[in-house]
Structure 1
Amino acid sequence: MKGYNILIVEDDLTIGELLKKILEREGYQVYWRTNGDEVLKLISKIDFVIMDVMLPGEDGYQLTKKIKDRGMGIPIIFLSARNDMDSKLKGLTLGEDYMVKPFDPRELLLRMQKMLANQYGSFAQIKHLFIDAEHAKVFNHDLHHEVMFTAIERKIFFYLYANRDRILTKDHFFDYLWQLEDRNPNIINVHIKKIRSKIDDQAGEVIQNVYGEGYRLNTYWKS
């Protein structure tokens, strides 16, 4: 799953440019800094850090300690030319992982993906939405913008999601949500309109109105 914000702290321009290019190609939002001056200002919107150990000014260990002292559960992997056991143990104590330079970017990507999954769980992506079905949460464009549904809007969205790519009639919604209430068809339209507004889907690409039949949550769409 993409949509994560990745921070690279690396003063080697060749390595930094390579990592940024690879991660952006994979669909991540990437921030790259060559020292620790702006790291703490950025960190509130970061999901994962690739941290060089040897940096101008504060080293990667010191920066990591400051991040962890803030109580932020952001996974951090160290990159270092140091291959001695003391350096590795220190890195694994302060952060979540440690890789020695030179490294294979494919290995770094795999380790990063596993740490992201362990930290944040599994998400499904539909267009610009990231969906955590287990916890009934939806995020808009990235994981820092959760959609604030009302209770009934959340039920409707995840009913559509559970039946994605299938047309649900208004009777389906009433049977599921309001079995004992009067069936005013306009109430479904009102709730769908509000949901679309909250998920930036005013054009109805994700939640489609199938004329004369009902609504469908699409997992594919025409470009």
Structure 2
Amino acid sequence: MKGYTILLVEDDLMIGDLLQKILQREGYTVCWETNGKGILDFIHKIDLAIMDVMLPGEDGYQLSKKIKDLGLNIPIIFLSARTDMDSKLEGLAIGEDYMIKPFDPRELLLRIKKMLKTQYGTFTQIKHLSIDTEHNKVFNRSLNNEVPFTSIERKLFFYLFENRNRILTKEHFYEYLWQLEDRSQNIVNVHIKKLRAKIGDPTGEIIQNIYGEGYRLNTHIKNELKK
């Protein structure tokens, strides 16, 4: 489950620390906040939110309503010690799931995986690209065809995709794709250039060059494909 970014809003430091470690061990990127201050500034980068109900300041329900009001279709799982039916119904009316504390983290992980699969399926959309993560194929919807990758281009693209929204240095690419004897000074740049040409990304909006650091595949880009 690499690549997904999860927002965890939990003011209990013991629970928050435990969940963060468990989620990171599963390959998720975790943004852990103890309250809702400032989360709307980066919420568009989040794939799923785990929200404690009782929080300092605005509670989880209020924060989640603000997220939904932005028009972002982000799945939300509420965590709460409240066991009464009214609280459950309110949570399920706002979000997608409701778990009562204490709970087994294994159950939470299973619910997360099922929710992500339901929400995003095996396909991910990035602008005009449709990415099939089950079969490692990429389709250009504006041309209505599959992108004709070579073997190394496919490995390079999906390495970027598995680490999407993270900066990968040239050393990362060298270690993953090229043995010492195969390395040349411009080998990464040359293959990135070819990759951009094939996916229709001439300006580097999808595969972005982060000057002096490396490359990053961006997923949170407005889809401009006309229907």
Are the structure 2 counterparts of residues 104 and 133 from structure 1 closer, same or farther at C-alpha, using a change threshold of 3 Å? closer
The runs of 5 or more residues in structure 1 that have no matched partner are 125-129, 139-146, 165-189, 201-223
CA contact (8 A) 2:79 2:99 kept: yes
Residue 115 of structure 1: aligned partner: 115
Alignment of 1:155-166 (within 5 A): 155-157=147-149
User: Does structure 1 retain, via aligned residues, the 8 Å contact 2:82–2:100?
Assistant: yes
Deviation at 1:39, TM superposition (A): 1.3
Give the aligned residue type for 2:115. Answer: M
User: Which residue identity does 1:70 align to in structure 2?
Assistant: L
In 1, distance between residues paired with 2:141 and 2:193? 12
TM-superposition CA deviations, 1:125-179 (whole Å, max 9, x none): xxxxx942689975xxxxxxxx98985995312x869x99xxxxxxxxxxxxxxx
Aligned partners of 1:53 and 1:60 also within 8 Å:
yes
Residue identity over aligned pairs, in percent, reads 66
Separation in 2, partners of 1:193, 1:39:
35
What is the root-mean-square deviation of aligned Cα atoms in Å?
Answer: 3.7
1:156 alignment partner, SS class: coil
Flag the 1:137–1:40 CA change in 2: closer, same or farther, 3 A: farther
In structure 2, C-alpha distance between the alignment counterparts of 1:152 and 1:41, rounded to whole Å: 35
Q: Which structure has the bigger radius of gyration?
A: 1
Paired residues of 1:53 and 1:79 also in contact (CA < 8 A): yes
Show CA shifts across 1:94-145 (max 9, x none): 0000000001000000001100000011259xxxxx942689975xxxxxxx
Tell me which residue corresponds to 2:179: none
- TM-score, with normalisation over the residues of structure 1? 0.62
Whole-angstrom CA distance in 2 between matches of 1:106 and 1:36? 26
> Does the residue aligned with 1:55 lie in a helix, a strand or coil?
coil
- Tell me which residue corresponds to 2:88: 88
Structure 1 residue 36, shift from structure 2 partner:
0.5
Runs of 4+, deviation exceeding 4 Å: 133-138, 147-154, 190-193, 196-200
Per-residue displacement from partner, 1:77-97 (whole Å, max 9, x unpaired)? 000000000000000000000
Partner of 1:54: 54
Provide the secondary structure at the position in 1 that maps to 2:147. Answer: helix
Structure 2 CA distance for partners of 1:134 and 1:151, relative to 1, 3 Å: farther
Matches within 5 A, 1:165-180: none
Checking the alignment, whether the CA contact within 8 Å between 1:80 and 1:100 is kept in structure 2 is yes
The 5 Å alignment of 1:134-213 reads 151=143, 154-157=146-149, 194-195=194-195
The TM-score normalised by the length of structure 2 is 0.61
Aligned residues: 160
Paired residue for 2:43?
Answer: 43
Distance (Å, rounded) in 2 between the aligned partners of 1:137 and 1:67: 32
Q: Secondary structure at the match of 1:116?
A: helix
